[in-house]
Structure 1
Amino acid sequence: MYVTWYWWPLPLIAAVLLSAEIHMGYPGVRAWLPYVVIVPLALLLIVRSGRTKVAVEDGELLVGDAHLPLEFVGEVEVFEAKDKRRVLGPHLDPAAFMLHRGWVGPLLRVQVTDPADPTPYWVFSTRKPAELAAILRAA
């Protein structure tokens, strides 16, 4: 779930402006050091926020660091971007597992059928919800 291109400029401009502000106040090494530290740090944060993995591997649904065996996957529902507010709003169960990325439109809700698991369902963003839902339903 990589970060779309139009989310990159604002943090990078903010990092350059912050570096320039520090640069104006100090001569010498402290003048260029903020550019070397703050701008790459902003890049790293953008890349890290978009490195969430959603996959089905080895009989498990992997969403970020969480995994759910496919035998405990129940009903699978696809929600488009226009329905996000309803899914993530007041009807969201506080015990649900949620991994939402604002820059990714569609959501998937997967019911958890494991009686030992206190999580009723998972709600997560994915760029290809129909394909993932078909794979989960087939499994």
Structure 2
Amino acid sequence: MAETTTRYRERLWPSTVMFIITAVFLIPAVTLVLTPIDAAIALPGAITVYAIVFAILAALSPTVRVENGELLGGRAHIPLEMLGEPEHLGRDELRRAIGIELDARAHLVVRGWIREGLRIPNLDDRDPAPYWIITSRRPQALASAIRNG
């Protein structure tokens, strides 16, 4: 079995604040809905609903990796030699890049709770995606891993 060389790995988890805000709004709302039905199940039911939402958010969090000469974003992957120079996108640049400046063919690995990332040109002429945009909490480390592959 071939040895895996991982240069970068990041799971795009929701932030702790997002989990707290979800709990603050979801638990009271579900409790309020369930109380007229049966007050005894209202709070346990609300906590169960929150746990399900928590599990869904965690399960849908993609992983970004640079390993074995490839960039893997979620289920997609591309060889590093097919990538150009990564461009750092701060908060405002990222908003424009995934908003008004977005090319609909671009490959996105974006989570709204992460406020910066990279735009990485795709040099493969046969691939319709002109670039990848990946949000990251550590975009400089990701860019370095892509460069040094």
TM-score by length of 2: 0.79
The DSSP-based 3-state class of the residue aligned with 1:123 is strand
Point out where structure 1 has 5 or more consecutive residues left out of the alignment.
none
Q: What pairs with 1:26-37 in structure 2 (closer than 5 Å)?
A: 26-27=37-38, 31=42, 34-35=45-46, 37=48
Distance (whole Å) between structure 2 residues aligned to residue 111 and residue 63 of structure 1: 14
Point out where structure 2 has 5 or more consecutive residues left out of the alignment.
1-11
Query: Counterpart in 2 of 1:135?
Result: 145
Distance apart, 1:26 and its partner CA: 2.2
Question: Does the CA contact (< 8 Å) of 2:35 and 2:41 recur in 1?
Answer: no
Provide closer, same or farther for how the CA distance between residues 71 and 35 of structure 1 changes in structure 2, counting only shifts above 3 A: same
Q: How many residues align?
A: 138
Q: What pairs with 1:1-139 in structure 2 (closer than 5 Å)?
A: 1-27=12-38, 31=42, 34-35=45-46, 37-49=48-60, 51-139=61-149
Aligned partner letter, 2:105: A
Aligned partner letter, 1:12: A
Aligned partner letter, 2:36: G
CA RMSD of aligned residues (A): 2.2
Distance apart, 1:55 and its partner CA: 1.1
TM-score by length of 1: 0.83
The structure with the greater share of residues assigned to helix is 1
User: Could you list the runs of 4 or more consecutive aligned residues of structure 1 that deviate by over 6 angstroms after TM superposition?
Assistant: none
Distance (whole Å) between structure 1 residues aligned to residue 42 and residue 93 of structure 2: 48
The DSSP-based 3-state class of the residue aligned with 1:124 is strand
Larger RCO (CA within 8 A; separation ≥ 6):
2
